[in-house]
Structure 1
Amino acid sequence: MDIRQLKYFVAVYEQRSISAAARQCCVAQPSLSAALLQLEQELGVSLFLRLPKGVTPTEEGDKLYGHAGKLLAQLASLKASFQAPAAKVRFRLGLIRALGVERMSALLREFSQQVPGLELHLVEPDAPCDARIITPAQQQGGEVLQPIWRDRYLLALPPAWPLSLQSQLTLDDFQDLPLIKRTPCDAWDLLYPQLSRRNIQPAIRADIQTIEYALGLVSAGVGCALVPDFDNLLERSDVALKPIAGLQLERTIALAYRSDNAHPALPVLQQLCSQSSAL
């Protein structure tokens, strides 16, 4: 048993998902799964029950979590006691909306941990900043783009709706379909012209900004909504996610920075974004 295995175990326990834990720890999912299996073999117990969507801890997993959390906290405290206070490193990062709370939290957590003294300021993407996480359409002159994620958009439906039984939806299905519109939304900008050409008019039930509110309204049965295929959404049971036939509703998320940017923390962020894109 080693510290790395315990860190992976704690991440899986808290995320209730092996894939989410792998993103949080910035490692490939097979590597994390192998380390977790080795830990279970060493202890001679099963720490998690594998479910169709995520995992749930066993009694032995609950027991280990209490010990592992204390041990990792003590180790962090021990390391900190030998480290001199780091000089503050101010970094302004511009973010667009709807990037995915889970994966962005994991990325920013690693960034903060790997840059001693980091003072991170999250700002709107059009504000003065050291780097931005945006779509390619928002790239400005003099900026370099480094792709991070590629998202496919799906239609989130209440599971009780008859349309949720279909393997995919067609554009004709959108006629009078109760719809939760998000603004801004890259997928809506691609879908709306297609509907207009066919004189198809969905029934707009709400116009909001965040994915979280949109999913809440979908779960409540108010309407359907276009959402990116984030891993944590694919694991939800209160919404049904379906593709739209004949349409490639996709977006690329990238790190943007000026080629002459010499900020000392930027190479760390570039490396973390590169690791995230490889997972």
Structure 2
Amino acid sequence: METGMFDLRALKYFVAAYEERSITGAAKRSYIAQPSISAAIQNLESSLGTQLFERAKNGLTPTADGEKLYPRAKALLAESLAILHGFREPPQREMRVRIQDDLPVHRAGPLIAMLYEHLPTMKLKLTQEGEAFDLKLVSESCRLDTEWMQLLWEEDYVVIVPDTHPLRFKTHFELTDLNDAPLIERPYCVLHQMFTQLLIQKNIRPDIRASATREEAVLGLVELGVGISVVPQSHCDGLKNVVIRPISFESDFKRRVGLACAATNIEMIALIGSMTKKLTESYA
């Protein structure tokens, strides 16, 4: 490389290392191997005739020249991107995302926002059961052996009761309280069969008032006063005319949800890894 010359890719890797404060973080963010990041930064330092980072076991610390270069590098990269956009439209990538059937679409909001942050030009396609996918938001119990998964949140199940029903006065439910209770079934829920078997074992027989094929219908029926239902706690956001009560299970009856992809899809695993911290904070 000639003295005083450097490429935009080296600046991009410098910015990633500066913002991540580590070669490892920059490599994950840029989807390339760590040695490529290190080599690019070293070549950049050689071209500029200065050291840009202090390197230590706990990461990188920008030097004074590194601090000086950062805003200029950001501006130059932004300008180069503007030049490209001025002459051609960037290729649009299709991102196929499957949302588990018993998850309200709004629960995927933080994920979708994060995907657009990482892939601004992507075209989002929500796929159905049985269709090909790149990523899926799914319960841990539905992960296949051929899939890799990163958990995002864990939650309890609760009872939702119309605010006009006498059961609204109960502050806490036991399973036995569901005996003869007007229940709305959720047969599409991945834990429905386990829940049903649990009731049978306890000889608990709810009064089944309705059965729905999607979560929005169940929540709507409870709001209308048709009956009660047992749902994941996060599904209660924004409900009207409903009270929410905890319920005790003798076993560990929780829902654990995360992002999954094919275990061989290294690119998607890296993408999930780069989003995990912010996503877990969003879903906390």
**Fold match by TM threshold 0.5:** yes
Can you list the C-alpha shifts for 1:18-76, whole angstroms capped at 9, x where unaligned? xxxxxxxxxxxxxxxxxxxxxxxxxxxxxxxxxxxxxxxxxxxxxxxxxxxxxxxxxxx
SS of the residue aligned with 1:149? strand
Can you list the C-alpha shifts for 1:120-173, whole angstroms capped at 9, x where unaligned? 211124322222222222222332110012121111111122221111112222
TM-score (norm 2): 0.62
Indicate if the aligned counterparts of 2:97 and 2:136 stay in contact, CA closer than 8 A: yes
Aligned-pair CA distance for 1:82 = 6.1
Structure 2 counterpart of 1:159, which letter? D
Aligned-pair CA distance for 1:83 = 8.8
SS of the residue aligned with 1:87? coil
SS of the residue aligned with 1:156? strand
Match of 1:116 in 2: 120
- CA separation in 1, counterparts of 2:241 and 2:84? 43
* Structure 1 segments unaligned to the other structure (5+ residues): 1-77
Sequence identity, in percent?
A: 24
Among 116, 123, 145, which residue is 2:149 paired with? 145
- CA separation in 2, counterparts of 1:146 and 1:83? 39
* Structure 2 segments unaligned to the other structure (5+ residues): 1-81
SS of the residue aligned with 2:103? coil
Structure 2 counterpart of 1:242, which letter? R
- 1:64-143 alignment runs, 5 A limit: 85-143=89-147
Can you list the C-alpha shifts for 1:171-192, whole angstroms capped at 9, x where unaligned? 2221221111012224433322
Among 221, 238, 257, which residue is 2:241 paired with? 238
- CA separation in 1, counterparts of 2:269 and 2:91? 16
- CA separation in 1, counterparts of 2:136 and 2:126? 10
TM-score (norm 1): 0.63
Aligned-pair CA distance for 1:235 = 5.1
Q: CA RMSD in A?
A: 2.7
Q: Which has the larger radius of gyration?
A: 2
Among 212, 216, 227, which residue is 2:216 paired with? 212
Indicate if the aligned counterparts of 2:157 and 2:246 stay in contact, CA closer than 8 A: yes
Indicate if the aligned counterparts of 1:93 and 1:130 stay in contact, CA closer than 8 A: yes
Does 2:253 align with 1:249?
yes
Structure 2 counterpart of 1:214, which letter? V
Match of 1:175 in 2: 179
Match of 1:276 in 2: 279
Can you list the C-alpha shifts for 1:90-113, whole angstroms capped at 9, x where unaligned? 222222113233231232133124
- CA separation in 1, counterparts of 2:194 and 2:83? 51
Match of 1:46 in 2: none
Aligned-pair CA distance for 1:225 = 1.1
Aligned-pair CA distance for 1:79 = 12
Structure 2 counterpart of 1:276, which letter? L
Indicate if the aligned counterparts of 1:168 and 1:243 stay in contact, CA closer than 8 A: yes
- CA separation in 1, counterparts of 2:269 and 2:123? 13
- CA separation in 2, counterparts of 1:221 and 1:127? 36
Indicate if the aligned counterparts of 1:93 and 1:131 stay in contact, CA closer than 8 A: yes
- CA separation in 2, counterparts of 1:97 and 1:164? 28
Aligned-pair CA distance for 1:210 = 1.7
Aligned-pair CA distance for 1:269 = 4.2
